[in-house]
Structures are given as structure tokens and as C-alpha cells.
Amino acid sequence: MAIKKIEMNNLSFGDLIELKIDSQIFNGEFIKEEEKIAVIKLKSGYDIAIPKDSITDIKIIEKAEKVEKTQKENKNEINDPDITIITTGGTISSKIDYKTGGVSPSVDSDYYFKISPDLEKQGKISIVNLMKKLSENMLPSDWIKIAKEAKNSISNGSKGIIVTSGTDTMHFASSALSFLLNPLSVPVVFTGSQRSTDRGSTDASTNLLLSAFTANNFPGGESVICMHANLNDEYNYILRGNKARKMHTERRDAFRPINIEPLGKVHISGKINELSPDIIPKNDNTKFNNKLDDNVKLIYSYPSMGGDIIDYYIDNKVHGIVIAATGFGNLPLEDKTIINSLKKAEKAGVPIVITPQTIYGSTNKFVYSTLREISKFDNIIYVGDMTTETAFVKLMFALGNSKKLEEVKKVMSINLAGEIKERSKINEFLI
């Protein structure tokens, strides 16, 4: 016989319960009930959904402690917070939708304190639920909203900012904030999770806590990413936001530094080891620049590529193009249409930025004859060891502030926020 609805209504979040389905018994914490299912968290850490009409018995083993309502429930009203957490969605803010089986960004701010209880011990924390977007749906206008909210929070006294977001395009967003908020008086720490919060293997709890340590104690004034350094929970890397990249679809340690060593390690104990002498120090004043031109396109060079794709964008009045080229910045010039297309882009005054699709290493326009042929055009810009994603975002920033080709070339060629390094070290490859 199925359990009566009134008995289910007596359950509260966190109650330790025993459910029986025929002869099978499940023990765990009660999470919630929906129209046809009850959700419990097993001891393994995984959530399961059980059809209510299949439950034959239920026992409350131990009632959850009632937590007094505190200021936590109105995080936006906290004055002079130590840390502001700006939530934007992504896996770290997601749970399984048991009706569809998919994961969607749907948790409220209090949930962060439930999955990472020690977070509350890191000082006064204000949580701003800015948006609920999966990172693949993020737009440049969303990066501006995040930067604006961070600037407002810093002006209101926050000593550190955490931005929780999806990981797929986190390195685009962290790059964008390195230009939109420059200089910075506090660290802006991007974090997320590779596994949703209702999975036993979730990395959300560790990433949140270690990001709070970073927001409180990291000496740099820059946009950084704080994610797992390896498959364990011992420490995270602190990575420069515009010199990092997501390098794996699912591993906890998916984010790696590119052409640079990690800025630091933050341990589960709270200790921070500074690993780089190039940490950008905090500045007394944070400046916010809200100009991004999103009419920029990204092309991946490939064998047999012709100039038609460049022509298409020029004909459609694109403002800038980034090409992830092969090797030191080569394009397949055997197809003469590419040269004609580069001439067309030059005549239209459209800047074309060349980055290495090798990910590691630097472009060099002087090595091969093809490179010299490409670089003779006035609108071609080689950007050294800048990552493709950072160059894409920086070109938006440059064009947002000036449409003059010479000004764009100048901005793209200078080091604004640590995005360009003159020389790489041997040990910086595949860290």
C-alpha cells in the first residue's frame, strides 16, 4: 500500500529517513517531494527520485535540526560584505530535473551554504542572483552585466568577488572581466563545477570554499579562475583569467594555465601558496569600462580553406575577425582566394587578428615566407602568445572603444591585463 500523502507532508528537508519499496530499503536524507516522486540523498551523496506510489513504508530515523532564519536569506541587504558571490547559472547552480532527467540552473542562494557549510565561516557573504544561464548561452552583454555588478559590489565595500558560472565558456567571461574591470582593487574569482551539486562526486563544495579563501586572501587585483588542480580535493589552482582554458569536457581539473604558470595554489586548509612573481597587485581604485563590440567573428583555419568565409563576413559588415591559424600563424595560401580576401578586408578597414590554434606557444610573422606574405597587410595583427579566446574578447573590447584601425592595433598589441607574455618557460607547457 502506498504511503499516505499526509505522512509525506510531515517530512522536512534534511530529515534522515528510511523508505521501503516492497522488500527493498533506501536510507538517506529527505530532499523534497513533487507531484509523483520523492527525492532523497543517499549516503553515497547521490540523489535518487522514487515514485511515491511505489513506497510501501516510511520511517523518520532522525529529524533535521531546525536552523534559525538569519540574514542569509536576504543576502542582497548585507552592508559592507567581506565577499560578494554573483551567481550566473551553470552546473554549480544546477540540480537534476527529475521530470526530464536533465540538469538545469535552478537552485536558490541558500543552497550554496547547504552544499558548502564552511562557506559561512568566511565572513559576511552577500549573494546576488544576477542571472540563471548555462554558459554556452552567455552573451557579451552578460559579461558587461557581471562586471557592472562586481564594480557596484566593490564600491559597496566587498573585499573580494566570486562569480559562479558554467565552465564551458568561463575562460571567455574571465578574460572579458580582465579588460572591463582594469585596474582592480580586489580579486574577482570565477568558479564553477564539473559535476552538479546533487552528485556524490560534485566538486562544487570544494570550489566554493577555496574560492572564498581566494577572494579573502589572494593578494592580486585581477580576474582569476579557481578550480581543481588535480582529481583530488586537496587544493585548487588560482589561474589568471585571460591565460587559462578549459581543456577537458568532464574532469575536475579541466582548467589549465596557458603559456604561464599558475598564479597560486589554495589549499583546503585555507593556505595560499603564491607560485608566480607576476601577480598583478591590487590597485586602490577599480575602473569599469562597459564597452564591448560583439560584431566580431572567430574562424578556425584548416587545410583547403578558401577566402570565401572571410568574404562572407566582410560582405556582412563584420567589425573584426580572429583567425586561429596553424603553427606560427600560417594560412593556406595555395588557395589564392585567401590573399584576395585579405586585400578586401584591408580595404574595408576590418582588423584580422591571428592567434595560434596550437593553444600553447606564440605567433611569429617572420619565420616563414607565407607569414611574411600575410603580415604585409596593414590590417593583420599578430598577438604573440595570447590565447584565441582572449584575443576574441579583447578585439571586442578594442573595437568597443575605437573603430580606428591604428587604435585597435595598438590596443591589441600592448599588454593590458597580463594577457601577453614575451617569453615562455619550459615548465609552462602542459601544467
pLDDT above 70 as % of the chain: 89
The 3-state DSSP class for residue 372 equals helix
Same domain, 26 and 89: no
426 in a structural domain: no
Backbone dihedral region for residue 99 (phi beyond 0: left; psi -120 to 50: alpha; all else: beta): alpha
Same domain, 112 and 174: yes
pLDDT above 90 as % of the chain: 69
Q: How far apart, in whole angstroms, are the C-alpha atoms of residue 248 and residue 231?
A: 12
Higher pLDDT, 401 or 67: 401
Which domain covers residue 118, as residue numbers? 71-274
Query: Is residue 15 over pLDDT 90?
Result: no
Q: What is the DSSP string of 388-412?
A: HHHHHHHHHHHHHH---HHHHHHHH
Mean of the pLDDT values across residues 82-87?
Answer: 96
> Of 246, 297, 394, 421, which one is the catalytic site residue?
246
CB atoms within 10 A of CB 413: 14
**Is there a contact between 128 and 153 (Cβ–Cβ < 8 Å)?**
yes
Higher pLDDT, 181 or 424: 181
**Is there a contact between 355 and 323 (Cβ–Cβ < 8 Å)?**
yes
Instruction: State residue 170's pLDDT score.
Output: 98
Domain CATH code at residue 48: 2.30.30.520
Same domain, 53 and 80: no
State how far Cα 54 lies from the chain centre: 41
Same domain, 255 and 378: no
DSSP state of 4: P
Instruction: State residue 5's pLDDT score.
Output: 45
Residue 385: active-site member? no
- pLDDT class of 111 with cuts at 50, 70, 90: confident
Same domain, 373 and 341: yes
Same domain, 221 and 89: yes
280 in a structural domain: no
Same domain, 231 and 364: no
Instruction: State residue 6's pLDDT score.
Output: 37
> Of 84, 87, 88, 91, which one is the catalytic site residue?
91
Instruction: State residue 107's pLDDT score.
Output: 58
Domain CATH code at residue 228: 3.40.50.1170
Instruction: State residue 106's pLDDT score.
Output: 59
- In single-letter form, the type of residue at position 53 comes to D
- pLDDT class of 67 with cuts at 50, 70, 90: very low
pTM as predicted:
0.84
What is the rounded average pLDDT for all residues in the chain?
Answer: 89
288 in a structural domain: no
pLDDT in tens, 275-334: 999 999 999 999 999 999 999 999 999 999 999 999 999 999 999 999 999 999 999 999
Query: Is residue 93 over pLDDT 80?
Result: no
419 in a structural domain: no
pLDDT in tens, 192-234: 999 877 666 688 999 999 999 999 999 999 999 999 999 999 9
- β strands within 130-243, DSSP E: 161-164, 188-191, 223-228, 235-240
**Is there a contact between 327 and 351 (Cβ–Cβ < 8 Å)?**
no
Same domain, 189 and 217: yes
Q: How far apart, in whole angstroms, are the C-alpha atoms of residue 9 and residue 33?
A: 9
Same domain, 87 and 222: yes
- Give the count of domains, the chain: 3
Judged by average pLDDT, the poorest of 65-69, 161-165, 194-198, 341-345 is 65-69
Same domain, 340 and 210: no
Same domain, 57 and 83: no
Query: Is residue 1 over pLDDT 90?
Result: no
- pLDDT class of 390 with cuts at 50, 70, 90: very high
Same domain, 103 and 48: no
Domain CATH code at residue 314: 3.40.50.40
- pLDDT class of 70 with cuts at 50, 70, 90: very low
200 in a structural domain: yes
Higher pLDDT, 384 or 77: 384
> Of 84, 167, 202, 206, which one is the catalytic site residue?
167
**Is there a contact between 151 and 181 (Cβ–Cβ < 8 Å)?**
yes
Give how far Cα 194 sits from Cα of 129, 262, 412, Å.
20, 20, 32
Judged by average pLDDT, the poorest of 28-37, 120-129, 130-139, 260-269 is 28-37
**Is there a contact between 146 and 173 (Cβ–Cβ < 8 Å)?**
yes
Residue 87: active-site member? no
> Of 142, 168, 198, 203, which one is the catalytic site residue?
168
Residue 388: active-site member? no
Q: How far apart, in whole angstroms, are the C-alpha atoms of residue 372 and residue 267?
A: 47
Give the CA angle between residues 283, 285, 289 to the nearest 5°. Answer: 110
Nearest to 131 by CA among 147, 142, 144: 142
Residue 246: active-site member? yes
For 212, residues 6+ apart whose C-beta sits below 8 A from its C-beta are: 83, 119, 122, 125, 160, 162
Q: What is the DSSP string of 268-320?
A: TTS-EEE--TTPPBP-SS--B-------EEEEE--TT--THHHHHHHHTT-SE
